[in-house]
Amino acid sequence: MLDNLLNVPPAVMPTVVIPMAADPDIIGAIGEAVKRHLARFILIGNKNAICALADQYGEDISGSEFVEETDGGQACTLAAQLVHSGRAQVLMKGLVHTATFSKAFLNREFGLVEATSLVSHIAVFELPSYHKPLLITDAALNITPSVAAKKCILTNAVKYAVSLGIDQPKVACIAAVEKVNPRIISTTDAAALKTAGEAGEFAPAIVDGPYGLDVAISKDAAETKGVHNPVAGDADILLMPALDAANVLYKTLSNFTDCRIGCSIAGAKVPIVLTSRADTEETRLLSLALAVRLSQGSGSVLH
């Protein structure tokens, strides 16, 4: 599924800017992207360190443009400025903290995000034990979102899924249990989101919950628990209750399963790649390829 991102070069190669690019996995992803004619690059950081890593790992990045800057915050600001000016079309996080990177792309001076928009993180998982791509949100940006914020996160995820070629996304609002319990906020939030979905707020998606994780991804578990809905056991999107649960799920799947992952930001005006500093070269490459395809407005990316 995710191989489709790598096997067909984009119609027009965008330019990707990466602040603080001196990292072996980033260099490996850049080298592979260059070989596959996916993108051109502007690399911000210590040029000597970046080129030394490329030489060490046998990657040809000679066609890249370099901007010398050793301060992480300033490098992120320069990267956002380059996207704002049109010199780059995709922004990708390098070896910097998420808070530093986010501060730059959320700066209203650069206009990368609408003032009224809420951006969110989406991870696209390809799991050997699941029958289709699975989108998980939000594992990186929104810590304890309110119902109103979850509506924005859900809207972002639905638009994102549709852009990938999923015509009618099935959304499971995850909680600890399937019954609404006023003492468990995730269940009352899920019920509110389900009601909003039934009113057409998230069309064309089908939204249901609260669901335990097992009910969302296992038809056997759903049948055992008596949950009968098109979403049960067949979810396309897992809307997690809060960042801590989403982040733990992300890192559990990435470390304990033979999965493949592509990550980016939804809700911004331009594709933004946000991966963990501990993510693998393959995850960085797939995330980059996903953003490149989204920059082309391509549908059916995963099919």
pLDDT in tens, 93-126: 999 999 999 999 999 999 999 988 999 999 999 9
CATH topology for the 118-265 domain: Isopropylmalate Dehydrogenase (3.40.718)
Residues 25, 107: Cα–Cα separation, whole Å: 27
Task: Give the per-residue pLDDT at 232.
Answer: 98
* DSSP label of 182: T
Paired sense of beta strands 237-239 and 134-137, if any:
parallel
Q: Where are the domains of the chain?
A: 1-116+268-303, 118-265
Predicted pLDDT of residue 277 = 81
With contact defined as beta carbons under 8 Å apart, do 241 and 149 qualify?
no
User: What is the pLDDT at residue 296?
Assistant: 81
The stretches in the chain having pLDDT less than 70 are: 298-303
Buried residues in 47-68 as b, exposed as e (16+ CB within 10 A) = beebbebbeeeebebeebebbe
Q: Assess contact for 155 and 266: CB atoms under 8 A.
A: no
Burial code (b: 16+ CB inside 10 Å, e: under 16) for 131-143 equals eebbbbbbbbbbe
Indicate the pTM of the whole model. Answer: 0.94
253-291 residue pLDDT tens:
999 999 999 999 999 999 999 998 889 999 999 999 999
> 1-116+268-303 sits in which CATH class?
alpha beta
- Measured at the alpha carbon of residue 106, what is the angle toward residues 85 and 80, in degrees to the nearest 5? 30
